[in-house]
Amino acid sequence: MGTLLDDPRWHGRIYSGGWATGAGEEIISTEPATGEVLGRVGAATPADVHKAAERAAQAQVDWAARPYQDRAAVLRRAARLFEEHQEEIETWVVRESGAIRPFATVQTIGGGADECYEAAALAAAPYGELLRSQEQRLSFSRRRPVGVVGVIAPFNAPVVLAIRAVAPALALGNAVLLKPDPRTAICGGVTIARIFEEAGLPDGLLHVLPGNADAGAAVVDDPQIPVIAFTGSTRAGRAIAVAAARHLKRVHLELGGNSALVVLDDVDLEKAASAGSFGSFHHAGQICMASSRHIVHASIADDYAALLAQHADALPVGNPAGGDVAVGPIIDETQRDGVHRIVTESVEAGARIAAGGTYEGLFYRPTVLADVPLAAPAYAQEIFGPVAPVVPFRDLDEAARLAAGTEYGLSLGILTRDVMKGLALAERIPTGLVHINDQTVNDEATIPFGGVGDSGNGSRHGTGAANLESFTEQQWVTVRGEVPHYPF
């Protein structure tokens, strides 16, 4: 079996009607752990985006008219290619995004392969329903592809956060323009282009256009792209929503989070601290669902913070490509400095560092903050780094108030031996995802995923129903046996 990314045609290119030279300057991909240059990709400009959108709109018509079996076959081949090239893709994810190998496996198999298999089944799913009518006619609704879907994906989980929109959109008869983050343009862009190229996707249906903010703005503004699927920061999501509204476009926004892990006083402390450590420190905390606030019963808060600090201190930090480490690098200096600013300002506000709080290069030590004031940045803001703020609560009313006291609403974890008490508490906290007796970082290809409030506009990804709603339009159709008589 050959390799997927050894093909030299992609170097310095965008993928749009084959591998082509973008109008922008090349993007240099570097390994955050070492600073080593990994490769170069083409950069798309707004002109490239508009040209790609026109070509995609033309190609989509034939694609939508094909039998569903044809679309399903391409998606199944894509899934198998993710499996066959698992090790190679994982290595690129490790090196380009700084992920540890298990997280890269989730990207490749749990993301790439599983999402494509689910999308293949979606192609054959029922796409309408019969409706009752007061008239003597057949009345039904059916789902039609929207046409061209624009997908803008982030750096932190570059494969899964792109493919979860790309795959179902293609399966339902759409064409796709994908703009990956420039920092992960190879593993989150070139890889997906090569997968579908090898899977036999007809020309013109998938365009992979790495670029800067102006390329993303062009995707949002282009009149031939009626639906935008964006994953990224709340600030950027708001700007996209405003721009899309001017064109009456539909947007699917999966944004930031400040997710609470609520720890009740009946837990096994060691298990709770282990779960909390994973929730905050996995992938260096660069996960939208990360356990960002540890809200712990006052009777155990000090012991929990001390155990959490022990876990943090024991985690090996380093180059995930060069050894057995638990936490890799922050993606770049800007992100690292933002994390350290939040930690520093929180300490100035009264928080106590129980572990971490230091860094070397892009490697930030897992950090535990105890005695965190509610006004401290580490409690109030999304951190997107390996930081675990611990705040005590005294009763369930206070726990519910603290957990719900954020503009975000993505994920919630509740740790307790009393499952029914946990479910009752969850009812009081607005959030898109709830995990009883687990930390907050969970995702599967088969579930509805999305947040509320500043975390997004609902479950727009996963399962047949969510994907049908996201990437099709509903059309009402009636049929009569003959033209009726009208008194006009």
The whole-number average pLDDT for the span 321-327 is: 91
What percent of the chain shows pLDDT beyond 90? 93
**Residues spanned by the domain of 196:** 8-255+456-477
List, by residue number, the catalytic residues: 254, 288
Dump the DSSP string for 247-270: TT-EEEEE----EEEEE-TTS-HH
Question: What 3-state DSSP class applies to 284?
Answer: helix
Rounded distance between C-alpha atoms, residue 14 and residue 42, angstroms: 5
Q: Token pair 């009726």 is at which residue?
A: 484
Question: What 3-state DSSP class applies to 305?
Answer: helix
Are 420 and 464 contained in the same domain? Answer: no
pLDDT at 425: 98
Residue 487 lies in a domain: no
Are 356 and 303 contained in the same domain? Answer: yes
Three-class SS of 4-28? CCCCHHHCCCEECCCEECCCEEEEE
pLDDT at 93: 97
How is residue 90 written in tokens? 């994982």
Query: Which residue type is seen at 33?
Result: A
Residue 443 lies in a domain: no
Q: Are 16 and 177 in contact (CB under 8 A)?
A: no
Look at the chain and report how many structural domains it folds into: 2
pLDDT at 235: 95
Confidence of residue 1 (pLDDT cuts 50, 70, 90): low
How is residue 287 written in tokens? 């996960």
To the nearest whole number, what is the mean pLDDT of the chain? 96
Are 239 and 370 contained in the same domain? Answer: no
How is residue 5 written in tokens? 């990314």
The per-residue pLDDT for range 146-178, each reduced to its tens digit, is 999 999 999 999 999 999 999 999 999 999 999
Q: Any residues with CB less than 8 A from the CB of 199 and at least 6 apart, and which?
A: 74, 75, 77, 78, 81
Residue 270 lies in a domain: yes
CATH for 62:
3.40.605.10
Residue 483 lies in a domain: no
Rounded distance between C-alpha atoms, residue 403 and residue 293, angstroms: 8
Question: What 3-state DSSP class applies to 64?
Answer: helix
Rounded distance between C-alpha atoms, residue 62 and residue 11, angstroms: 30
Are 78 and 156 contained in the same domain? Answer: yes
User: pTM of the entire structure?
Assistant: 0.96
Confidence of residue 111 (pLDDT cuts 50, 70, 90): confident
Are 224 and 339 contained in the same domain? Answer: no
The per-residue pLDDT for range 475-487, each reduced to its tens digit, is 999 999 999 999 9
How is residue 130 written in tokens? 């019969």
Residue 376 lies in a domain: yes
**Virtual torsion, Cα 8, 12, 17, 23, nearest 10 deg:** -160
Q: Does residue 84 carry a pLDDT above 70? A: yes
Q: Does residue 16 carry a pLDDT above 80? A: yes
The per-residue pLDDT for range 345-371, each reduced to its tens digit, is 999 999 999 999 999 999 999 999 999
pLDDT at 3: 87
Which whole-number Å values give the CA distances from 336 to 37, 38, 340, in the listed order? 20, 21, 6
Residue 401 lies in a domain: yes
Residue 276 lies in a domain: yes
Are 300 and 364 contained in the same domain? Answer: yes
Are 173 and 265 contained in the same domain? Answer: no
Are 247 and 388 contained in the same domain? Answer: no
Query: Which residue type is seen at 432?
Result: G
Are 214 and 286 contained in the same domain? Answer: no
Residue 90 lies in a domain: yes
Are 460 and 341 contained in the same domain? Answer: no
Q: Are 201 and 74 in contact (CB under 8 A)?
A: yes
Confidence of residue 463 (pLDDT cuts 50, 70, 90): confident
Confidence of residue 460 (pLDDT cuts 50, 70, 90): confident
CATH for 420:
3.40.309.10
The whole-number average pLDDT for the span 73-100 is: 97
Are 63 and 85 contained in the same domain? Answer: yes
Query: Which residue type is seen at 477?
Result: V
Are 248 and 332 contained in the same domain? Answer: no
